[in-house]
Amino acid sequence: MAHIQKALPQQQSQFYRLPVEIRVEVYEKVFALTEFSFGSTAGSCHWDSTGCTRSQEARPRSNRLALLRVCKAMARDIKKNIPNWPDRRGVLFDFEDTKVMLEKLATIPTATLRSIRHVRFRATPLPLVIYPGLQATAPVEFRCTVDPAGALKQLHGLSLDRLTVVESPGLPQAQYDMVNRLVAEGNGWRELRFISNTSEMLGYTFAGDDGAHTGERYHRRPQPSTWQTSLNARDGLASAPSVTIYRSTVRSAPNTVLDPRTRSVYEQSPVARPGEQDPELEDPGLLSPDERDKEMLVVVRRGGGVHCEQHQLPAMPTTWDTLTEDIADIEIFNRS
């Protein structure tokens, strides 16, 4: 019969024999960030004859707070040796698509929403359906989308320290326009981080006949200087807002743009051809085979003292309840 060693009392373990200063460093490292994730790992809605199909739910990440429920001695040790510990921890709410983010955040009390400090979500378009009228002899569907930048306006009271937006697969013109809108009119955050998996967003060719992506809003301009000018006009020069673009130095390497060791600051210069001020041609420095697959990170910081809370829009054309009904109509329509 195998001998089972009796467990030592918690306070007699090797860990609790360490100096309290070392234990505090361990606690602060382990519990520096608590992350709650929601949504499907695919981060998008796939349309077919049966309607909207989503992949399996994302596996929840390890919950480090479980240590405090299992080890009561650790909970007591933290409470005794780290003053104001709950206020020093970071909590990140991570959503795999725009719809899931709204389902979670648009339905909680405003006071609770105001207490959230960090949100990250994948910027998938929110599908809607519009019918010509209830008296139509046959339903005719006009499918459209709500841009993630517009969807954030549903979150009255949002007041984040940092909002991280991760691009979803799509046209670079749409991604560029999304950053434009967040810089020009976005609220609810003091710092915005927009992560692009490639460099296409700042290198695509602007074509006047590119289907839905036409018009002035998709016309590329030198960045970050244009975004900086827009933010200066919005927040005021005296408040010192800033826009910085970083580019990864490594190809096809996810998250390297978040590491200061594998990124560099990127700036575009105005096109120098006579009579032209804005770039329209494809940028080979960004879209050549060796350069295209380098990540980009746009960091936008609002000016000091600027009120950034997402305010209630008095003439909001639709509410989250209405959007939810429309999304349900899409799925019913496609299954019928």
Residue 229 lies in a domain: yes
Residue 193 lies in a domain: yes
Residue 25 lies in a domain: yes
Tokens of 255: 């998250």
240 and 204 share a domain? yes
Residue 52 lies in a domain: no
Handedness of CA 297, 97, 93, 235 (dihedral sign): positive
pLDDT at 215: 62
Note down the domain range covering 70: 10-43+61-94
Please tell me which residue, 170 or 187, carries the higher pLDDT value: 187
Residue 107 lies in a domain: yes
Coil, strand or helix at 62: coil
**Percent of the chain at pLDDT exceeding 70:** 68
> pLDDT band at residue 34, thresholds of 50, 70 and 90?
confident
85 and 133 share a domain? no
Tokens of 194: 């927009």
328 and 237 share a domain? yes
Total domains in the chain come to 2
Quote the CA–CA distance of 327 and 264 in Å, as a whole number: 41
Q: Which amino acid is at 203?
A: G
pLDDT at 239: 97
110 and 148 share a domain? yes
Residue carrying structure tokens 């005719």: 140
83 and 216 share a domain? no
Mean pLDDT of 5-32: 79
Residue 22 lies in a domain: yes
pLDDT at 129: 56
> pLDDT band at residue 327, thresholds of 50, 70 and 90?
low
The DSSP bridge partners found for residue 118 are 92, 162
Quote the CA–CA distance of 276 and 263 in Å, as a whole number: 30
pLDDT of 204-250, one tens digit each?
886 654 455 556 778 888 999 999 999 999 999 999 999 999 999 99
> pLDDT band at residue 192, thresholds of 50, 70 and 90?
very high
184 and 251 share a domain? yes
> pLDDT band at residue 46, thresholds of 50, 70 and 90?
very low
pLDDT at 203: 92
Q: Over the Cα atoms of the chain, what is R_g?
A: 24
Residue 201 lies in a domain: yes
Is the model's pLDDT at 89 over the cut of 60?
Answer: yes
322 and 187 share a domain? yes
pLDDT at 323: 58
Residue 50 lies in a domain: no
Residue carrying structure tokens 């234990």: 23
Instruction: Compute CA distances 319 → 111, 236, 324, whole Å.
Output: 19, 31, 9
pLDDT at 75: 84
80 and 171 share a domain? no
Coil, strand or helix at 331: helix
Q: Which residues contact 190 (CB under 8 A, 6 or more apart)?
A: 160, 161, 162, 301, 302, 308
Among the listed residues 146, 266, 151, 289, the one whose alpha carbon sits nearest the alpha carbon of residue 202:
266
